[in-house]
Structure 1
Amino acid sequence: MEIINNLALGISVAFTLENLMYCALGVTIGMFIGVIPGVGHLAAISMLLPLTYYVPATTALVMLAGIYYGAQYGGSTAAILLNLPGTPSSSVICLDGYPMSKNGRAGVALFMTTIASFVGSFITVIVLAAFAPPLANFAVAFNSADYFAMMLLGLVAAAILVQGSPAKGLAAVVFGLMLGMVGTDVSTGIQRYTFGLTFLYDGINIVAIAMGIFGVTEVIANVGKVAQIKNDQKITFRSLLPTKRDVKDSVFPILRGTGIGTGIGILPGTGTSIGSFIAYALEKRISKDPSKFGKGAIEGITAPESANNAAAQSAFIPTLTLGIPGDAVMALMLGALLIHGITPGPNVISDNPDLFWGLVVSFLIGNLLLLILNIPMVGLWVRLLKIPYPILYPAIILFIVIGVYSINYANMDIMLVAMFGVIGCVLLILGFEPAPLLLGYILGPMMEENFRRAMLISRGDLMVFLERPVSATFFALIALFLCWSIYSAIKQRRSPVEGEL
């Protein structure tokens, strides 16, 4: 009965005209961003984050979340039609989606990925509504030591689970922590690492960091790499309809992908890409005919598509209930909450029930809108792929400059965006993942605050982190992650040597 009352509250919030408009705007922009290769939802959310200053917190999150999961829908379109993934999690869709397109089944592939996206998202939203409140009630009993250990676990997991070197991931986290220390110390009032620059007294603007390392970096990285797209695919309504065999072969892969994506999305630092690849690998492994994968297998697109959309939705569970972002996009969501004076954590549901339940219901509305819009608008998205990149990328830079300047009307914010754009390019060249940097920046101040509070309560005794079962469990998991990372690194180094012998 309680969940029915909560959903009724969410319906009253989500079905206001303002929230419906911003939900529709968010999912439409997300689809557009997902279709265009090389832009990415991180860049889009970073550009539109300044708009959240002027709308209520619930409306802001509804729009930003719509961009996020809307991009998951659109990302498969370019992957299927052009072998160019619109989002990183859509990369695996290329393996079987593009062969289906070359075999004249592009319409079926687009239709089935839309259905898989909707089913994965819908089931995960139900899980979010059912399990997020109990998890939040459990987290209310956490004290400062538990919060510090939990946030540290999130950062370590984010650093180790990135693609590439875990050491580089840890270095990016440390850099993000250092950026989070810039500004006025809330406890002592002393300026730290400001170098006498008054515009740094309030810290570095999260929008400047996000726009720089994601927006500007994405544009610079793709300039000259993506040629003008030529696409002659003709999509009709008849070509969208799948056969009975397609539907039969997709039912269980969609359900398995949804389960995998839901579990992966809850874990901090994983993101949607890992869920997609695990779902694809599982289907290939259990298939009676693994040789069909890579040649246009319907399971090869429905399983990973449901997994990446499920992961996108379930990532909100730790973000809203624990204050721990699962990836860089969730870190931006936390930033939007902080902008509106809402402290992320287990009290978000109890203190702001209209925000949480309104957001949950908006997920259902947004996914239904995407289901309705995506299929009829396939032809439009295909034509949008022909926008010349010499026009698209300068427009993106213009929107970034306008967006960041509109926050404080300060020229230095534009300079910070340019500086972090350069930093993002350097990180890209050196093989560093920028997402752990943003996670470190977001969680750093909260970790420092909880660490200080734990030290005050325990009178400086560091054993406080091991005396409580919750914090001790988190530190045990941290040790397990680090040992696993070291073991994996040693194993990778030995493998080439053993091969030579």
Structure 2
Amino acid sequence: MELLANLALGLDVALSPSALLYCFIGVTLGTLVGVLPGIGPMAAISLALPITYHLDPTNALIMLAGIFYGTQYGGSTASILLNLPGSITSAVTCLDGYPMAQSGRAGVALFITAIASFLGSSFAILVVVGFSTTVAEAALGFSSFEYFSIMLLGLIAASTLSQGSALKGLSMVVFGTVLGLIGTDTTTGQFRFTFDSVVLSDGISLVALAMGLFGVAEIVSNILRPASSQGPLKVKLREMLPERDDWRRFWKPATRGSLLGTAIGILPGTGATLASFLSYSLEKKVASDPSRFGNGAVEGITAPEAANNAATQSGFIPTLSLGIPGDAIMALLLGAMMIHGIVPGPTFITEHSGMFWGLIMSFWVGNLLLLVLNIPLIGVWVKLLSIPYHILYPCILVLICIGVYSAQNSTFDVLVALVFGLIGYVMQQYKYPAAPLLLGFVLGPLVEEHLRRAMLLSNGSFAEFFLRPLSAVFLIGTLLLLLLAMRPWLTRVLGRRQVRDASGAA
């Protein structure tokens, strides 16, 4: 009965006129950003963040979340029509979506991805409803020891399990943590790393940092990238209905993708990208004829789209109930909540029950809106893809600068965004991931706060971290992840030593 009462409370919030309006704005912007290749949800949320300063916190979070999961829907459009993923989570959709478009079945592919996205999201929302309160209740017994350990685990997992070099990911976490320490120490009131600059006394703006790393850097990268000469294909609505054989091949991959995506989304450091690629690999392994994949297999677009949308929704479980973001986008949403004075964690569900359940129920509303929007507006998105990028991206850059300035009316923040845009572009060229940097920036100060509090409680003894069972489990998990990340390096070192020993013996 309590669950039904909570759902009724959430539905009352989600169906209010203001919540419906901002949910609609969020999912529409998200779909638009997902359709346009190379922008991504990070840039879109960063751009929208200053607008939320003037909104009610619940409406602000509903809009930002709508942008996030809306990009997962829109990302498949460019993947299918242009063979260009609108977002990295839709990259695997190109493998079978584009061949379907080339064979005249673009409408069927777009229809199937919309339905698969809705089913994956719906299943994950049910899991969020069922498990968020349970996780939060279990976490009420956490002390600073457990919080420090689980946050450290989340940071290490996000940096070592992401794509690319684990060492580069770890270095970015450290860099982000150091950036997060700039400003006034909340314990002593002393300035740290400000270089006697008053403008740095409050630290680096999250909006400026995020817009620079994920907005400006992406725009610079896409402007310098050679433009594609391939034009978008035409899609007619009457050609969108799948055949009976398409439906027969649809249901099992959609179910497997939803289950896999939901499980992966809950884990820190994984996210929708890993979910989509793993689900594609799984479908290829269980298929009776794997040679169909890459040539327009319905299963090849169904499972990844269900998985990446399920992972997006289930990622809210650790973010809202523990205050531990699973990826950089969740870290940005967590930062947005902190800007409004709301700290996610075990007490968030009870202290802000209207906001929590309103947000959960808005997921249902948003996904229904996306299902309705995506099918009739496909013609609009196709025309949008015909806009030359050399016209589109400078306009977005101007909006980014306006958004950064409007956040605190600071020209210094605009300069910070541009500087981090250049830093982000250089990081891209040398394969340094930006997501761990943002995670370190958001979680770093919280990790420091809980570490200092824990050390005060234990009179400076580190042994207390290992005497508490949960804290010890989290720290052991962190150590195992570090060893796993160091495995390639250790293998190379041992291999060189064996070669030297063999040459010396000869």
Q: TM-score normalised to the size of structure 2?
A: 0.96
2:266·2:314 contact (CA, 8 Å) conserved in 1? yes
Which aligned pairs between 1:421-500 and structure 2 lie closer than 5 A? 421-490=421-490
Q: Whole-Å Cα distance in 1 between the matches of residues 18 and 492 of structure 2?
A: 53
Counterpart of 2:110 in structure 1 is 110
1:290 and 1:348 map into 2 onto residues whose CA distance is 46
**Distance in 1, Cα, partners of 2:324 & 2:294:** 36
- Other-structure match for 1:119: 119
Residues 285-305 of structure 1 show CA distances to partners (whole Å, capped at 9, x for unaligned) of 011100110000000000000
* Conservation of the 8 A alpha-carbon contact between 1:319 and 1:344: yes
Whole-angstrom CA distance in 2 between matches of 1:497 and 1:88: 39
Aligned to 2:504: none
Which secondary structure does the structure 2 equivalent of 1:186 belong to?
A: coil
Give CA deviations for 1:380-422 in whole Å, capped at 9, x if unaligned: 1101001111211111111111101111111111111111111
Q: Which amino acid aligns with 1:218?
A: E
Query: 1: CA distance between counterparts of 2:37 and 2:237?
Result: 25
SS of equivalent residue, structure 1 residue 85: coil
Residues 294-326 of structure 1: CA deviation (Å, up to 9, x unaligned): 000000000000000001101111000111111
Aligned with 1:92: secondary structure? helix
Residue 230 of structure 1 and its aligned partner are, at CA, apart by 4.6
Q: Between the two proteins, what is the percent identity of the paired residues?
A: 53
In structure 1, the partner of 2:284 is 284
In structure 2, do the counterparts of structure 1 residues 493 and 379 end up closer, same or farther at CA, with 3 Å as the change threshold? Answer: farther
2:254 match: 254
Partner of 1:2: 2
Listed as ranges, the matches of 1:122-141 within 5 Å are 122-141=122-141
Q: What does residue 44 of structure 1 align with?
A: 44
How far the C-alpha of 1:492 sits from its partner, in A, is 7.6
Contact kept, 8 Å, 2:30 with 2:71, in 1: the verdict is: yes
**Conservation of the 8 A alpha-carbon contact between 1:228 and 1:386:** no
Moved more, 163-172 or 342-351: 342-351
- Cα offset for 1:233? 2.1
SS at match of 1:223: helix
1:366 corresponds to which letter in structure 2?
G
Partners of 2:154 and 2:269 within 8 A in 1: yes
Given the superposition, is the C-alpha separation of residues 393 and 494 from structure 1 closer, same or farther in structure 2, using an over 3 Å criterion?
farther
Structure 1 residues 395-454: Cα deviation after superposition (integer angstroms, max 9, x where no partner): 111111110111111111111111111111121122100000000000011111101110
Match of residue 100 from structure 1? 100
Letter in 2 for 1:281: S
In 1, distance between residues paired with 2:318 and 2:68? 16
Contact 2:75 2:86 in 1 (8 A): yes
The aligned residue for residue 201 of structure 1 is 201
Deviates more, 1:227-236 or 1:179-188: 227-236
2:372 matched residue in structure 1: 372
Q: Within 5 Å, give how 1:18-37 maps onto structure 2.
A: 18-37=18-37
Give 1:378-417 correspondences, 5 Å limit. 378-417=378-417
Q: Which residue of 1 aligns with 2:69?
A: 69
Using the alignment, how far apart are the partners of 1:153 and 1:187 within structure 2? 24
Q: Secondary structure at the match of 1:91?
A: helix
* Kept after mapping to 2: 8 A contact 1:230/1:386: no
**AA partner of residue 183 (structure 1):** G
Contact 1:229 1:385 (C-alpha < 8 Å) held by counterparts: no
Gaps of 5+ in 2: 499-506
Is contact 2:82-2:233 (8 Å) kept? no
- Other-structure match for 1:210: 210
Provide closer, same or farther for how the CA distance between residues 196 and 93 of structure 1 changes in structure 2, counting only shifts above 3 A.
same
Taking the aligned partners of 1:43 and 1:149, their CA distance within structure 2 comes to: 30
- Offset of residue 41 of structure 1: 1.1
- 1:31-70 CA-partner distances (Å, limit 9, x unpaired): 0000000111110100110011100111111001101110
Superimposed CA distance per residue, residues 204-261 of structure 1 (whole angstroms, 9 cap, x where no aligned partner): 1100100001000000001132526653522222210001111111101001001111
Alignment of 1:164-203 (within 5 A): 164-203=164-203
- The aligned amino acid for 1:89 is T
Query: CA separation in 2, counterparts of 1:292 and 1:146?
Result: 48
Q: Distance in 2 between matches of 1:112 and 1:493?
A: 49
Deviation of the 1:495 alpha carbon: 10
AA aligned opposite 1:179: L
State the 4+ residue runs in structure 1 displaced beyond 6 angstroms: 492-498
Structure 1: give runs of 5+ residues left out of the alignment. Answer: none
2:492 and 2:56 map into 1 onto residues whose CA distance is: 49
In structure 2, relative to structure 1, the CA distance for the partners of 1:77 and 1:217 (3 Å cut) is same
State the AA in 2 paired with 1:225. Answer: R
Q: Distance in 2 between matches of 1:495 and 1:462?
A: 36
* 1:182 and 1:192 in contact (8 A); partners too: yes
Q: Following the alignment from structure 2 to structure 1, what is the Cα–Cα distance between the partners of residues 33 and 177?
A: 30
Q: Which residue of 2 aligns with 1:60?
A: 60
Contact 2:167 2:485 in 1 (8 A): no
- Residue aligning to 2:152: 152
CA contact (8 A) 2:22 2:59 kept: yes
Aligned AA (2:323) = G
The corresponding residue for 1:309 is: 309
CA deviation string 1:171-224 (max 9, x = no partner):
000000000100000000110000000011111110010000100000000113
Tell me how far apart the structure 1 counterparts of residues 198 and 268 of structure 2 sit (CA, whole Å): 35
Tell me the distance in 2 between the aligned counterparts of 1:370 and 1:427.
Answer: 34
CA distance in 1, matches of 2:492, 2:237: 49
CA contact (8 A) 2:232 2:385 kept: no
Match of 1:234 in 2: 234
Partner AA of 2:360 in structure 1: V
Asked whether the 8 Å contact 1:154–1:268 carries over to 2, the reply is yes
- Indicate conservation of the 8 Å contact 1:250/1:299, yes or no: yes
Aligned length: 498
In 2, Cα distance between equivalents of 1:82 and 1:237 = 18
In 2, the alpha carbon distance for the partners of 1:13 and 1:338 equals 21
